[in-house]
Structure 1
Amino acid sequence: MTAETNPSYLRRLGTWDAAAIVIGGVIGAGIFRSASTVAERTSSGAQTLALWAIGGLLTLAGVLCYAELGARRPQAGGVYIYLREAFGQLPAFLFGWTMALINYPGSVAAVATTFADYFCAAIGLPATWVRPVGAGAIAFIVAVNFFGIRAGSRMLNVFTILKVSAIALLVVVGVVLAHGQFGNVLAVDTTRQLPAGAFLGALLPVLFTYGGFHYLNDLAGEVRDPQKTLPRALGLGLGGVVVCYVLVNFAYLAGLGHAGLAASHAPAADLMHALFGETGATVIAVGIACSTFGYCSIAIAGGARVLQTMGADGMLFNAVGRIDPRWHAPRVALAVLGGWAIVLVLSGSFGQLVDYTTVGEWLSHAFGIATLFWYRRRFRNEPSPYRVPLYPVLPLLFVGTVLSVIVATAIHSPGDAGMSLLLIAVGVPVYYAWRAWQRKRA
């Protein structure tokens, strides 16, 4: 396609917009629910807080690697672009096959349903409205993004402020409930006898909750001055997330205690209910709804850019690769991704799909970071606008951590891991069939 028939994206995202994408892509519903799982696998508040800090530092290692990759190749498509250049079309297609066509719409459907659950509960709608509301939320996000990245980022900025405000409210409530007595925050729970390796097992939900930082790289083609803005926004965004996660867990421990947090199924709601009753639970339900809505907005925007890049490469139908000449948005890709996600919401068939693609998502992180070694070797004499510090220690640390997560996931859920690998493998004959069909058309 020529530039005349397929316009390029416009670089409209500044540092704050880009940092908001990182914050919004990482903070979804996890921190409001998974903190109890981490506490359940630890024996003290000190261990719990340490895990959230360690998980943040490990994720930061990956973020710094993504910062260099984004600075080297500031184009829409993110990991798809890196894999295509370093390893070829087949690995890049397999990434797009599992992520843009399965994982992204599956996760959007799951989180949109979570949004609808909290939204309906907050305004008193019956459970029969959950699926229509979730589908409507996706349709609304797609419609807004039809008008370009600026419209989408403005909506995202609003919901990022709202979700950070919800976290700030939780911190204040936790401190108030503690009545100045913070000894239980770091106290050891002597009633808990944990098996060996439990501490490492508790790191898994922490790392999953830190996932989603890669969406900014999917949108790198629309970031202003990307060589400077991408590293800065990734660092600021993830740093802000780490602070939020540690503080909100401090609030949970201060208000509920370690035993109370470990026993809670909805710690955010329990914390608010303890001070404000049903009104507090309703308020935090609205906050969680805002948080999940913001995540869906980012996942749809980022996933559509991957689909559009694949279409422009000939890996999907040509129409998917088109960019609207007026609004500079991948409208067909947005419609495809959003439409498939709506089907999954209405059918309720997204749960297993997300479980099946978890290993594929983490494999994409490992191979994405591994391309950094190829770029360093292939362009050793080419100056890079940003270089990850402590190379090669940080990328090796991150890849090793990701592979450990994959192994632990396979041990814990062998069926899901096996299906994830099978879905990736199915992409191989699909790739060759697609290439053969293209040659026949030509």
Structure 2
Amino acid sequence: MTAETSSAYLRRLGTWDAAAIVIGGVIGAGIFRSASTVAERTSSGAQLLTLWAIGGLLTLAGVLCYAELGARRPQAGGVYIYLREAYGQLPAFLFGWTMALINYPGSVAAVATTFADYTCAAIGLSPQMWVKPVAAGAIAFIVGVNFFGIRAGSRMLNVFTLLKLSAIALVVVAGVILAHGQFGSVLAADATHNVPSSAILGALLPVLFTYGGFHYLNDLAGEVRDPQRTLPRALGLGLGGVVICYVLVNFAYLSGLGHDGLAASRAPAADLMRRLFGEGGATLIAVGIACSTFGYCSIAIAGGARVLQTMGADGMLFSAVGRIHPTSHAPRVALGVLGGWAIVLVLWGNFNWLVDYTTVGEWLSHAFGIATLFWYRSHFRNEPSPYRVPLYPLLPLLFVSTVLGVIIVTSISQPEDAGKSLLLIAAGAPVYYIWRWWQRRSA
């Protein structure tokens, strides 16, 4: 990124704003759905809660690595910046190609549709008629708010983060009430799900994927105040809060539904609230889940647009995408491109394959992004860094090896999805060389 574009962003985000980005980027709709999948692949409540705690600790290892990377390079663009410096333009472009042009808008389209599903259910609209218009309208509204700058977007995000935490607190309270003080069965074995120990690793996959999204703050690092101090604090506080929420929510599910009931439920939060408050409770939690998904979309659009803008400033995309508005200090063109493409995917309706096939690419980017820490440590031995990841090199090695192991397991269990994900990444290579050839010819 050039000095001009880097300085065009204003550092307006404090510690709470940054921590809210971490919480909002991780907690979407996953915890309200994927807990039942984990229950299906475990044999007891003890195993289930242990897996959620292990997943949180592994993700925390990655977050601590991202904290050092963000402190070393507190610029907008996140992983794109680290890959460009450590490995060169092509790997950085492949990351941008996969994430900012496919994964970010694909995930926004999918989660916006989930928001529309819950919103229509809560207010009684026909899903066949209104889901797509509501999802597209939500994306357009989020883009419009972010046009006014990161401060306006963070204020909206803070509100929705509080609402989603309130929904989680409500689920936890409902589970405790339904348990009637009988918490001994929470950790008990489930005779209906006798899963062999060798298959439990498969239960870790949905846990890790539910913890995804912690990297969005690094995409917005160029707008964080005192980033060398704020980034580590916000990443640690944010993910620590997420781990506590996830463990408490699963404890509530087990308390109110039991392990077998959780495994059989497709919407455990709604089932839990329905048992205590009837259909009104199910509607209330639907509103909470809608708020949670809306907040995630806001973060994904804001973070993805900064990656696009950084690529445009680097000459990896059209120069207009790299512009930052002089008044709002927002990447309006990048926001419009990302939001517009996400709306196209919503209306097209075939975006799920994009999300499925690029999940492997997203986690590969995490592995390679954190691996750049070894490059920074070896090439900038004397560079001052106010934060250094503890237990180096153990924590980055643990995270990278675990993520690569998850990808290998995914590739074995879902070879078609993994293969198409890798093909989508590889398709960016000829695009890169064609773009470079076109630039040279134009010059």
TM-score, length basis structure 1: 0.99
Question: Would the aligned equivalents of 1:96 and 1:306 in 2 still touch at CA under 8 Å?
Answer: yes
Question: Would the aligned equivalents of 2:5 and 2:313 in 1 still touch at CA under 8 Å?
Answer: no
Other-structure match for 1:163: 164
Other-structure match for 1:242: 243
Shift of 1:193: 2.1
1:184 aligns with 2:185: yes
Provide the rounded CA distance (Å) in 2 between the counterparts of 1:343 and 1:440: 32
Matches within 5 A, 1:138-153: 138-153=139-154
Provide the rounded CA distance (Å) in 2 between the counterparts of 1:165 and 1:24: 13
Other-structure match for 1:18: 18
Provide the rounded CA distance (Å) in 1 between the counterparts of 2:179 and 2:200: 26
Q: Secondary structure at the match of 2:200?
A: helix
- Superposed CA deviations along residues 100-140 of structure 1, whole A, max 9, x for unmatched, are 00000000000000000000000000011000000000000
Matches within 5 A, 1:217-256: 217-256=218-257
1:370 aligns with 2:371: yes
Other-structure match for 1:58: 58
Provide the rounded CA distance (Å) in 1 between the counterparts of 2:357 and 2:179: 41
Q: Secondary structure at the match of 1:417?
A: helix
Provide the rounded CA distance (Å) in 1 between the counterparts of 2:7 and 2:187: 56
Provide the rounded CA distance (Å) in 1 between the counterparts of 2:330 and 2:5: 14
Provide the rounded CA distance (Å) in 1 between the counterparts of 2:146 and 2:375: 34
Provide the rounded CA distance (Å) in 2 between the counterparts of 1:312 and 1:336: 15
Other-structure match for 1:396: 397
Question: Would the aligned equivalents of 1:7 and 1:323 in 2 still touch at CA under 8 Å?
Answer: no
Superposition misfits of 4+ residues, deviation over 3 angstroms: 1-7
Q: Secondary structure at the match of 1:380?
A: coil
Provide the rounded CA distance (Å) in 2 between the counterparts of 1:132 and 1:13: 32
Question: Would the aligned equivalents of 1:63 and 1:235 in 2 still touch at CA under 8 Å?
Answer: yes
Provide the rounded CA distance (Å) in 1 between the counterparts of 2:4 and 2:367: 37
Other-structure match for 1:350: 351
Other-structure match for 2:32: 32
Provide the rounded CA distance (Å) in 1 between the counterparts of 2:149 and 2:179: 46
Q: Which residue type is aligned with residue 226 of structure 1? A: P
Provide the rounded CA distance (Å) in 1 between the counterparts of 2:191 and 2:441: 69
Provide the rounded CA distance (Å) in 1 between the counterparts of 2:73 and 2:2: 20
Other-structure match for 2:118: 118
Q: Secondary structure at the match of 1:293?
A: helix
TM-score, length basis structure 2: 0.98
Provide the rounded CA distance (Å) in 2 between the counterparts of 1:5 and 1:193: 57
Q: Which residue type is aligned with residue 156 of structure 1? A: L
Other-structure match for 2:98: 98
Question: Would the aligned equivalents of 1:29 and 1:292 in 2 still touch at CA under 8 Å?
Answer: yes
Shift of 1:6: 8.6
1:207 aligns with 2:208: yes
Identity of aligned residues (%): 86
Q: Which residue type is aligned with residue 168 of structure 2? A: I
Shift of 1:184: 1.4
Q: Which residue type is aligned with residue 368 of structure 1? A: G
1:9 aligns with 2:40: no
1:86 aligns with 2:79: no
Shift of 1:197: 2.0
Other-structure match for 2:313: 312
Question: Would the aligned equivalents of 2:308 and 2:321 in 1 still touch at CA under 8 Å?
Answer: yes
Give the stretch that moved more between structures: 401-410 or 60-69. Answer: 401-410
> Unpaired runs of 5+ in structure 1?
none
Q: CA RMSD in A?
A: 1.1
Provide the rounded CA distance (Å) in 2 between the counterparts of 1:4 and 1:51: 46
Other-structure match for 2:386: 385
Other-structure match for 1:261: 262
Other-structure match for 1:41: 41
Question: Would the aligned equivalents of 1:357 and 1:420 in 2 still touch at CA under 8 Å?
Answer: yes
- Superposed CA deviations along residues 130-165 of structure 1, whole A, max 9, x for unmatched, are 000000000000000000000000000000000000
Question: Would the aligned equivalents of 1:177 and 1:254 in 2 still touch at CA under 8 Å?
Answer: yes
Q: Which residue type is aligned with residue 64 of structure 2? A: L
Provide the rounded CA distance (Å) in 2 between the counterparts of 1:175 and 1:2: 54
Shift of 1:3: 6.6
Question: Would the aligned equivalents of 1:7 and 1:325 in 2 still touch at CA under 8 Å?
Answer: no
**Distance of aligned partners of 1:205 and 1:93 in 2 relative to their CA distance in 1, 3 Å threshold:** same
Provide the rounded CA distance (Å) in 2 between the counterparts of 1:341 and 1:349: 11
Question: Would the aligned equivalents of 1:272 and 1:280 in 2 still touch at CA under 8 Å?
Answer: yes
Provide the rounded CA distance (Å) in 2 between the counterparts of 1:193 and 1:6: 55
Provide the rounded CA distance (Å) in 2 between the counterparts of 1:4 and 1:360: 31
Provide the rounded CA distance (Å) in 1 between the counterparts of 2:273 and 2:175: 9
Shift of 1:192: 2.2
Other-structure match for 1:409: 410
Question: Would the aligned equivalents of 2:6 and 2:75 in 1 still touch at CA under 8 Å?
Answer: no
Question: Would the aligned equivalents of 2:2 and 2:313 in 1 still touch at CA under 8 Å?
Answer: no
Q: Secondary structure at the match of 2:316?
A: coil
Question: Would the aligned equivalents of 2:192 and 2:260 in 1 still touch at CA under 8 Å?
Answer: no
Shift of 1:78: 0.1
Shift of 1:179: 0.5
Shift of 1:411: 1.1
1:154 aligns with 2:155: yes
Question: Would the aligned equivalents of 1:6 and 1:324 in 2 still touch at CA under 8 Å?
Answer: no
Question: Would the aligned equivalents of 1:76 and 1:218 in 2 still touch at CA under 8 Å?
Answer: yes
**Distance of aligned partners of 1:250 and 1:429 in 2 relative to their CA distance in 1, 3 Å threshold:** same
> Unpaired runs of 5+ in structure 2?
none
